[in-house]
Chains A and B, each alone.
Chain A
Amino acid sequence: MATKLKPVDIAIVGLGWAGGILAKELASTGLKIVAFERGGPRATNPDFMAPQVHDELRYSRRHELIQNLRKETLTFRNDPSQRALPMRQLGSFLPGEGVGGAGTHWSGLHWRWTEWEHKMYSGTVAKYGKSIIPADMNLQDFPVDYHELEPYYDKFEKVCGTSGKAGNLQGKKIEGGNIFEAPRASEFPNPPLTQSHNMVLFEKAARNLGYHPFPVPASNASRPYTNPDGVALGQCHYCGMCTAYGCEANAKASPHFTVIPLAYKNPNFEARTNAYVMKVNLDSRRKRAVSVTYLDAGGREFEQPADLVILAAYVFGNVHLMLHSKIGKPYDFKRNTGVVGRNYSYQSMGGVGALFPKGTYFNPFMGSGALGTWIDDFNSDNPDFAKVGFIGGGGISSGSNSGAPIARHPVPPGSPRWGAGWKKAVVETYHRMTAVGNQGSVMSYRQNYLDLDPTYTDSFGRPMLRLTFDWQENEFRQMEYARGICASIAKEMGAEQVLSRRERGRYSIVPYQTTHNTGGTVFGDDPRTSAVNKYLQCWDVSNVFVVGSSVFPQNAGRNPTGPVGALAYRLADTLKDQYLKRPERLVTV
Chain B
Amino acid sequence: MSKENDAEPKIVNRRAWLKLFGAGAASGVLPLGSAAAEDSAVAGHHATHAPAVPVDEQVPVYEFLNGDEAAFVEAAVDTLIPADDVGPGALELGVAVFIDRQLNSGYGRGDRMYLQGPFMEGTPEQGYQLRMTPSELFRNGILDVNAYLRAKYKRPFDALTNEDRIAVMTQLETGQIELPTVPTAIFFNLLYDLTMQGFFADPLYGGNKGKASWKMIGFPGIGAMYADKIEAWRNKKYMTEPMSIQDLL
A, B assembled together: yes
CB-CB under 8 A from A238, the residues of chain B are: 225-227, 229-230
Question: Do residues A406 and B200 form an inter-chain contact, with CB atoms below 8 A?
Answer: yes
Given A77-B126, A83-B120, does the pair A50, B201 have CB atoms closer than 8 Å?
no
Q: A63's closest neighbor in chain B, by CB?
A: B112
Question: Do residues A361 and B126 form an inter-chain contact, with CB atoms below 8 A?
Answer: no
Given A89-B113, A406-B197, does the pair A196, B230 have CB atoms closer than 8 Å?
yes
Q: Is B219 an interface residue (CB 8 A)?
A: yes
Q: Give complex CA distance A98, B212 in Å.
A: 35
Question: Do residues B201 and A57 form an inter-chain contact, with CB atoms below 8 A?
Answer: yes
Tell me, rounded to whole Å, the shortest Cβ–Cβ distance linking A519 to chain B. 20
Question: Do residues B79 and A419 form an inter-chain contact, with CB atoms below 8 A?
Answer: yes
Given A406-B197, A420-B84, does the pair A52, B127 have CB atoms closer than 8 Å?
no
Q: Is A132 an interface residue (CB 8 A)?
A: no
Q: Is A62 an interface residue (CB 8 A)?
A: yes
Tell me, rounded to whole Å, the shortest Cβ–Cβ distance linking A462 to chain B. 12
* Partner-binding segment picked from A39-47, A68-76, A572-580: A68-76
Question: Do residues A55 and B114 form an inter-chain contact, with CB atoms below 8 A?
Answer: no
* Partner-binding segment picked from B37-45, B145-153, B234-242: B234-242
Q: A459's closest neighbor in chain B, by CB?
A: B116
Question: Do residues A427 and B86 form an inter-chain contact, with CB atoms below 8 A?
Answer: yes
Given A423-B84, A423-B87, does the pair A363, B118 have CB atoms closer than 8 Å?
no
Question: Do residues B128 and A405 form an inter-chain contact, with CB atoms below 8 A?
Answer: no
Q: A457's closest neighbor in chain B, by CB?
A: B116
Using an 8 Å CB-CB cutoff, how does the interface string of A196-220 with B read, 1 for contact, 0 for none? 1100100000000000000000000
Indicate the member of B112, B120, B220, B238 with the most A CB atoms within 10 Å.
B112
Q: Is B7 an interface residue (CB 8 A)?
A: no
Question: Do residues A89 and B128 form an inter-chain contact, with CB atoms below 8 A?
Answer: yes
Q: Give complex CA distance A236, B213 in Å.
A: 27
Question: Do residues A365 and B233 form an inter-chain contact, with CB atoms below 8 A?
Answer: no
Q: Give complex CA distance A431, B233 in Å.
A: 13
Q: Give complex CA distance A57, B199 in Å.
A: 11
Q: Is B168 an interface residue (CB 8 A)?
A: no
Q: Give complex CA distance A290, B84 in Å.
A: 69
CB-CB under 8 A from A415, the residues of chain B are: none
* Partner-binding segment picked from A225-233, A385-393, A502-510: A502-510
Q: Is B224 an interface residue (CB 8 A)?
A: yes
Question: Do residues B114 and A70 form an inter-chain contact, with CB atoms below 8 A?
Answer: yes
8 A Cβ contacts from B196-244 to A = 196-197, 200-202, 204-205, 213-214, 216-220, 222-227, 229-231, 233-238, 243-244
Question: Do residues A366 and B127 form an inter-chain contact, with CB atoms below 8 A?
Answer: no
Which residue of A63, A403, A406 is within 8 Å of B196 (Cβ)?
A406
Q: Is A360 an interface residue (CB 8 A)?
A: yes
Given A57-B202, A63-B112, A88-B115, does the pair A509, B84 have CB atoms closer than 8 Å?
no
Q: B248's closest neighbor in chain A, by CB?
A: A51
Q: Give complex CA distance A87, B115 in Å.
A: 10
Q: Give complex CA distance A310, B200 in Å.
A: 43
Which residue of A68, A86, A508 is within 8 Å of B125 (Cβ)?
A508
8 A Cβ contacts from B95-115 to A = 107, 110-115
Which residue of B113, B128, B223, B230 is within 8 Å of A366 (Cβ)?
B230
CB-CB under 8 A from A406, the residues of chain B are: 196-197, 200-201
Q: A51's closest neighbor in chain B, by CB?
A: B248
Which residue of B124, B129, B173 is within 8 Å of A508 (Cβ)?
B124
Indicate the member of B110, B114, B196 with the most A CB atoms within 10 Å.
B114
What would be 21 A-B contacts, judged by CB atoms less than 8 Å apart?
Answer: A50-B223, A54-B202, A54-B245, A57-B197, A63-B112, A69-B112, A77-B126, A78-B125, A88-B113, A88-B129, A89-B113, A239-B225, A239-B226, A365-B219, A367-B226, A406-B197, A418-B173, A419-B79, A431-B237, A506-B123, A508-B125
Which 8 pairs from chain A and chain B are nearest by CB? A54-B222, A51-B248, A238-B226, A366-B226, A508-B125, A197-B234, A237-B225, A405-B200
